[in-house]
Amino acid sequence: MKICNFCGNKNFKEKNIQYFYKRNGHFLMVNNVPCEECEYCGEQYFRAGILKKIEKDFEDIYLSGKKPAHQIRVPVEEFA
């Protein structure tokens, strides 16, 4: 039986989420990523193959020049 590593809850729900991946100051936002989410605390769990695909997509975009499905501009502000 699966138990949440964060809160110890045993109830999970499958859902698709928006996942943000960051490496070396570069970002990739991925929509509709399947995960299992703890129904109590919201901690999310991903299969290794899913995370590996996101890493590959990131590398294909930033290292190999693959065009992403969509690109957005995000404003950045310093907290002072």
Long-range Cβ contacts of 14-18 (<8 Å, 24+ apart) = 17/44
Q: What is the pLDDT of residue 1?
A: 79
The maximal CA–CA distance of the chain, rounded, in angstroms, is 46
- pLDDT digit string, tens, across residues 37-71: 999 999 999 999 999 999 999 999 999 999 999 99
Do the Cβ atoms of 58 and 28 come closer than 8 Å? yes
List the structure tokens of 26: 């570069």
Give the predicted TM-score (pTM) of the model. Answer: 0.87
Q: Side-chain half-sphere of 4: how many Cα atoms within 13 Å?
A: 17
Distances (CA, A) of 67 to 40, 58, 61, 62, 64: 38, 11, 6, 9, 9
